[in-house]
Amino acid sequence: MDSCENAWDRPLVYEQGWKKRITWVVGSSIHETVDVTYRYTIEPVEVRSRRGAREPGVQQMITRFNNSRYSHLSESTRAALNKRLAKELTQMLLKANEGQQSQEQYGGRESGSLSWRRERGETDDPTLGQIITVPEDATQYTVRYSPASDVYTDGTGAVLARGFNSLAYSNEDVVRKAEYDWNMVYLARQKNESISTIEWRVKCPRPIVSASLSMLHTTFNMSVVEWCCLPTSTSNLTYHEEFSDIDLTLLQGCTEFRLIARMKSVLPADNAWQHTQLFRTKLDGNESPFEICLDF
């Protein structure tokens, strides 16, 4: 129960709603302590990756702690606790390893001021208003996004922000989808949405001399991804089905521009939302299929 969020039995709200990167969640009672992390995630592979070599040591510590508690219990109570623990662990692991999005929708954090929640990246505000701001002294600037790690980095590899929404200007029904059976991850439309749009905006300290952008997408079954990249001052937006068709020389001389991806399906289908994929890459990969390189 989370009284601040008015939530009961909704363990995925923190990962799917608040966009938190879960590593450890531990539950404790009068009799035992249990690692319940896998009840709170649908991304077990990423959780295990973040835990690294620490996981066996922590599990051993929990086991030793529980053994000391069990020593004071009757044999029948210990048997009942072990049976319950085995059942719960099996349920958690099976659910997590399915790698399926819950049918329930999770919004962002409700408690706290909006500015504080936005700063922490815990909102579900459809108008995010985030702007990628180039440092004042930059003569060159690069920003990349990796869907596998779900982080933005600069040209040196330093992390700029975590979560694909953290540097998005607006997001209309776009979600990050991990396919554990295919070992792939990408941005896609929210389930049951026919059209979804995400926009990024970039603000520069002085006019752009040259711009190089690389944006990859994948489509299936006649679905379409359309791209638009123009100075923010341009009112008439033109979309292209191939990003390479965009004339990036139009960015020369401007100090602010917008990048928009619009995903839509032509044919109706239960899984049509998966037929438009932005930045599809391997879950264990380190590719950055979103890249903006600017010279000033």
pTM (2 d.p.): 0.60
- Three-state SS for 118-177 is HHCCCCCCCCCCCCEECCCCCCEEEEEEECCCCEEEECCCCEEEECHHHHCCEEECEEEE
What's CA 68's distance to the chain center, in Å? 40
Question: How crowded is residue 13: how many other Cβ atoms within 10 Å of its Cβ?
Answer: 20
Question: How crowded is residue 258: how many other Cβ atoms within 10 Å of its Cβ?
Answer: 19
Q: Which of 185-199, 214-228, 266-280 has the lowest mean pLDDT?
A: 266-280
CA distance 192 to 230: 29
Predicted local distance difference test score (pLDDT) of residue 71: 84
Predicted local distance difference test score (pLDDT) of residue 110: 65
Mean of pLDDT over the chain: 85
Residue 218's beta-bridge partner residues?
Answer: 277
DSSP for residue 267: S
The pLDDT tens digits for 111-136 are: 776 556 655 556 655 446 899 999 99
Cβ partners under 8 Å of residue 113, min gap 6: none
Q: Which of 109-123, 185-199, 222-236 has the lowest mean pLDDT?
A: 109-123
- Kindly tell me if the per-residue pLDDT of 105 is higher than 70: no
Instruction: Tell me which residue of 275, 130, 149, 162 sits closest to 217, measured CA to CA.
Output: 275
CA distance 77 to 91: 21
Instruction: Tell me which residue of 192, 179, 197, 218 sits closest to 272, measured CA to CA.
Output: 192
**In this structure, are residues 148 and 185 in contact, taking their beta carbons and an 8 Å threshold?**
yes
Predicted local distance difference test score (pLDDT) of residue 124: 59
Instruction: Give the pLDDT band (50/70/90) at residue 94.
Output: confident
The pLDDT tens digits for 45-66 are: 778 877 877 888 888 998 898 8
Q: Which of 70-74, 204-208, 249-253 has the lowest mean pLDDT?
A: 70-74
Q: Given phi > 0 = left and psi -120 to 50 = alpha, else beta, which region is 279?
A: left
